[in-house]
Amino acid sequence: MRIPSNREFTRITPSAFSYHRLKSYVSDCRAVLLPSFGGPHLLELRSHVQVPPLKPHEVLVRTRAVSVNPLDTRMRAGYGRSIFGRLLPLILGRDVSGEVAAVGASVTSLSVGEQVFGALHPTAVRGTYTDYAILSEDEVTPKPDSLSHVEASAIPFAALTAWRGLKCTARISEGQRILVVGGGGAVGLTAIQLAAAAGCSVVTTCGSQSVERLLAAGAEQAVDYVAEDVELAIKGKFDAVLDTIGVSETERIGINFLKRGGHYMTLQGEAASLADRYGLAIGLPAATALLLNKQLLYRCTHGIEYSWTYMRADSDGLNEIRKLCQAGKMKIPVYKTFPITQVKDAHEAKDKRLIPGKIVLEFD
């Protein structure tokens, strides 16, 4: 495939000439395909994978870096098979940082050649493990100059997940108390940074190796859940609890720490797992019934709101995240990078927990 220079990139308009130019330069590219569910050995880096034509609201991004999210490894292993199984082969990947290569006819906020970062929604079939990623206009924003592509690619999906829970669901505000259960991961870390930037008092639980890092990120108290009794170490009640672990014990603890009228949000919603187990026709209604039952139960017994939190595209949220990054108030440390040619090694390292933090894949 010939890689175009910036001046050869183009705005996609309805004219045949513009479409012809795009197809002349970016008709196909490298991409990591997942032909079937299973281990890292199934990932295939292929050349000449077709690049679909852009829709009016879409942006073509020349990928420079993508992060490996837990969702990527879970999807590779079969999570969401009830939805994605019939759509194989998949291209994994949600985060991306790179340059705008082309824009659809309706795109007004971005220009060709602009450095951008962003994230696809969780159900996207054509992900970002590819030389040329396609995202909607509201899924990307200009990359902060203070961040490299590697650093920027680690942030959007995790930060937007935290944003969804804290800002859209709980609507946190200055002066409130926020508990982040499991602050050591990327979502937990960005939740602490978001809440601290909003003027909230933040407490978190984490492993011993993360205590100092989370205190530096803005937490007022970081409790080692292995060495300490969380229920004794943490005092007072909270306006919102974001639970990144989502097991029955952390749910019980989180619920009991909430004030009446507070919000409990877990990342471990059961819609996909129940659909995988029983099929879409039974699993999705069962998940809806389970969620409604819990919402009613906790509303009656504790006077709190209960919800499952997922990442969703949010242009306002992404812009605020960009501003926080630019101001030095949000950053996720990258522990190791791999070239895209070593994507199998990257996934294996993640599966075996050989690397404690973020892994990023780099593109040449």
Confidence of residue 276 (pLDDT cuts 50, 70, 90): confident
The span from the CA of 152 to the CA of 180, in Å, is: 23
pLDDT at 110: 95
pLDDT at 273: 87
Rounded to an integer, the average pLDDT of 230-259 is: 96
Nearest to 157 by CA among 110, 119, 112: 119
Q: Is the pLDDT of residue 1 over 90?
A: no
pLDDT at 216: 96
Question: Can you read off the two tokens belonging to residue 247?
Answer: 């097991």
Count of other CB atoms within 10 angstroms of residue 121: 16
Q: What is the pLDDT of residues 237-249, one digit of tens each?
A: 999 999 999 999 9
pLDDT at 271: 86
Residues in a beta bridge with 96: 118
The span from the CA of 27 to the CA of 17, in Å, is: 14
The two most distant CA atoms of the chain are separated, in Å, by 68
Q: What is the pLDDT of residues 160-176, one digit of tens each?
A: 999 999 999 999 999 99
Question: Can you read off the two tokens belonging to residue 186?
Answer: 């990327």
Q: What is the pLDDT of residues 56-66, one digit of tens each?
A: 999 999 999 99
- The 8-class DSSP code of residue 3 comes to P
Q: What is the pLDDT of residues 116-163, one digit of tens each?
A: 999 999 989 899 999 999 999 999 999 999 999 999 999 999 999 999
For CATH 3.40.50.720, the residue range(s) in the chain are 158-308
- The 8-class DSSP code of residue 247 comes to -
- The 8-class DSSP code of residue 130 comes to B
Q: Is the pLDDT of residue 215 over 80?
A: yes
Confidence of residue 23 (pLDDT cuts 50, 70, 90): very low
Question: Which residues, other chains included, contact 11 with Cβ-Cβ below 8 Å and sequence gap of 6+?
Answer: 18, 102, 103, 105, 107, 112
Q: What architecture does CATH give domain 158-308?
A: 3-Layer(aba) Sandwich (3.40)
Question: Can you read off the two tokens belonging to residue 200?
Answer: 């909230």
Confidence of residue 285 (pLDDT cuts 50, 70, 90): very high
- What are the Cα distances from residue 55, in Å, to 92, 97, 330? 21, 20, 32
Cα 181 off chain centre by: 18
For CATH 3.90.180.10, the residue range(s) in the chain are 29-143+333-362
CB contact burial 65-92 (16+ within 10 A = b; e otherwise): bbbbbebbbebbbebbbbbbeeeebbbb
pLDDT at 272: 87
Fold for the domain defined by 29-143+333-362: Quinone Oxidoreductase; Chain A, domain 1 (3.90.180)
pTM, to two decimals: 0.90
